[in-house]
Amino acid sequence: MEELTLDLDIPQQPEDGAEPAADETQPQVTALEEGQVVDYIAGKAIKETPKEKVRQRIARALVHEHGIDPHDMARDFSVTVSEEGARKRTKKADIAIFESGMPHTTANLRQVVVCKQEPKRGKNVVKIREPEQAEKDLAELQELMGNEDRPKCVDGMWTDGVDFFFLKKVVGDFGVTFEDRSDWEVVDGTIGSRTVASHQRLRQADPEMLKIAFRRCHNYIHGNEGMPKDAAFWQFLYLLFSKMYDERVSRGTGRGRFRTGLKEMFDEDGRAAISTRVKELFEDVKTEYKDVFKPSDEITLSDRALAFIVSELAPYDLTGTDVDAKGIAYQELVGTNLRGDRGQYFTPRGAVNLMVEMLDPQEDETVLDPTCGTGGFLQATLKHLRDSWKKEAGTFGFPDTDEERERYGDRLKAYAEKHLVGSDFDPFLVRATTMAIMTLAQTTGNVFHMDSLAFPRGHLAGVELAKKKIPLGKTVDVLLTNPPFGADIPVSDESVLGSFRDGIAKSWGRNKETGEVEASSTSTPTSMAPEQLFIQRAIEWVKPGGRIGIVLPNGILSNPGPTDEAIRRYILEHCWVLASVELPVETFVVDANVNILTTLLFLKRKTEQEVRNYRMGTEKPYPVFMAVAEKVGFDRRGNDLYKREPNGDIILETEVVMERLRIRGKEVTRPLRRSKPVIDNDLPVIAEKYREFRAKHPVPGVETRQVAGAGA
């Protein structure tokens, strides 16, 4: 890994009070006050105002996505916008970009950016504006770009973090005109700025900018097309899937079909051409992925909306973009659009990550989520594997090189095709999970539409394939699930309950003489809560020695009633209990709007001999890891929760993130230091404590393996 020191012999001549670009040889900021951040451009401590958050986000994207050297940028650069005699009227460009390696003067000014604070959105969708609706804002940008007096300053951007407008200044025989563009075009002499105009040179997405792009696409459909949120979501996914497919089939062959010229989306004929290309592309997608799409699926967006979304997604190399960045962007959209009404409370990301980390799935292990929802556990498994590979290589914390990106991408694809399995009763969630895996691993994986409680029977389409892939007790090494639970969604179908009569699905009571829990010999229950049955099904599904992580309501583990006690005994008989982590009520209040206390239960299935040992009373005692999480990083309203000093001040920490950039044709690795509030979240601490626990206490039972990297 090459460490390259930037050439600092560039003459820096700030004009009219502008701050100089960052000098990486100057002392780094070591302490920040609350509400401060290290400026991405100048390397100085500044106040993090709402506007500043937008500017920092854009500055980072200009470096990471467009390859612009921070040394060629300045903040608050003053330019003269008019002169009346001796009086000059000046305005400041929030970000000014200069010709590469040249002094920071007006004569060398090439691009300007105007940043505004992000509008308050609340719970409402912010409607995306068209350029003609932003006339006053664009007039401000035009003033900064100037006329013939600034011939090199030809590109401008105006943004408030929601709306993005790009202008191109064209100097002709009859004066200056400003044209609307969808992005900045490639300009000779810059450091690899990439746009849709050069489709062969797609750019890797900055995580925050990709999340914004996804949100803008969805908001445009919902706000401008009059579609309900769920319909807008599926239209967006059709296009996202088409984009991924187009990258795969067109790579190395020239221009793909998922593209738009810099001016095409502003012309009626151009928009029609985009629409024709992409709709034809989607027909090929439906042919290629017959198990995912139905013949009746179609893109119903207007040409204008379709052109907008293509212009947002086309510049990005989604295949090469970081797995976690794509996962966060995708899951944020999914989480707000596919809330279920059958107890489908999608597990918060922090809890998902904790469960995956504690069970530590390996590259040769098959992972199953039988109630996969939108695929959170499966996505987290892919990220966990990639992180583990980087740790083994000693590059964790560093962005991937091009070679690593391709190599890890191939390994993730191979793993997803062979070992990653999900299923769900809801066909819409099956499709959502399939698309998520495609986004992260370039394959649809193995996601089956079936009733996991009825398995291996059932009438839904995925049962037969699942019987071959994941027969009960044969192939599954790790099972992770958050099953639907609640007495208001009971399972009463005897064809399902019958499979559980030899286990949990019995009428339990207490012996009047001994007080012991026992099953009735004269009656059986006509219904049971689904989470009770999923415990037995999860144990049956993993092979002996297989590991289970399951989200359960606390009552199963603490209620004194005979049914819950019988379930606990069933667990102890058939499994080693690895760990129990109790979560606070905030966990599901935010994501599901329900007050429910839950526990993450971690198990390991016993062998037949180990089950006999338990029944004979010869099993030796073993330690169990137990923890109670009081804080999970946010309060009941979803607001971030910060750690505080005894006097109430927010505790800050300095975060160092290694960045790999391509500057002037060379790869640069540099640390980015910023101060940020410390999130009050017990889950990462619990994961660390579990690793320490396992280093001292190996997993019980035969064929134990180190978990969560213990001893590494």
Highest-scoring range by mean pLDDT, 172-181, 323-332, 352-361, 674-683: 352-361
Whether the predicted pLDDT of 188 surpasses 60 = no
Q: What is the pLDDT of residues 220-235, one digit of tens each?
A: 888 888 888 778 888 9
Give the C-alpha separation, 80 to 89, whole Å.
6
Q: Which pLDDT score is estimated for 17?
A: 40
Structure confidence at residue 190 as a pLDDT band (50, 70, 90): very low
State residue 227's pLDDT score: 84
Would you place residue 352 in the very low, low, confident or very high pLDDT band (cuts 50, 70, 90)? Answer: very high
Lowest mean pLDDT among 22-36, 112-126, 307-321, 457-471: 22-36
For the segment 205-214, the average pLDDT, to the nearest whole number, is 84
More confident residue, 85 or 616: 616
Two tokens at 15? 């004009």
pLDDT at 61 over 60: yes
* pLDDT of res. 15: 44
**Alpha-helical segments (H) within 580-701:** 586-592, 608-616, 683-696
The more confident residue out of 197 and 426 is 426
Residue 276 pLDDT > 80 = yes
Angle at the Cα of 411 from the Cα atoms of 407 and 415, rounded to 5 degrees: 170
Report pLDDT digits (tens) over 425-441: 988 889 889 988 988 89
445-502 pLDDT tens trace: 899 999 999 999 999 999 999 999 999 999 999 999 999 886 678 888 888 998 999 8
Q: Beta-carbon neighbour count of residue 514 at 10 Å?
A: 8
Band of residue 626 on the pLDDT scale cut at 50, 70, 90: very high
Lowest mean pLDDT among 107-111, 430-434, 621-625: 430-434
Q: What sections of 159-251 are H helices per DSSP? A: 207-224, 229-250
Residue 345 confidence class, pLDDT cut points 50, 70, 90? low
Please report the pLDDT score of residue 592 as a whole number.
Answer: 61
Average pLDDT, integer, range 545-566 = 94
Q: What's the rounded Cα separation, in Å, for the pair 320 and 202?
A: 9
Rg (CA), the chain: 28
Lowest mean pLDDT among 377-381, 431-435, 479-483, 684-688: 431-435
* Residue 16 · residue 22 · CB < 8 Å: no
- Segment 113-127, tens digit of pLDDT: 999 999 876 555 667
- pLDDT at position 661: 65
The rounded distance, in Å, linking the Cα atoms of 575 and 563 is 18
Residue 217 pLDDT > 50 = yes
Sheet with 446-449, side-by-side order of all strands? 446-449, 420-424, 367-369, 476-481, 542-553, 598-605, 575-583, 625-628
How much is the pLDDT for 550?
97
What are the angstrom distances between the C-alpha of 431 and each of 241, 243, 471? 11, 16, 22
> Using one digit for the tens of pLDDT, what is the confidence trace for 629-648?
999 998 888 788 888 888 88
Average pLDDT over residues 256-262: 84
Per the document, the length of the chain is 712
* Summary count for the chain: helices (H), strands (E): 19, 20
Token pair listed for 485: 């639970």
The arithmetic mean of pLDDT across residues 134-141, rounded, is 91
Mean pLDDT of 357-384: 95
Is a pLDDT exceeding 50 seen at residue 712? no
Work out the mean pLDDT of the chain and round it to a whole number.
84
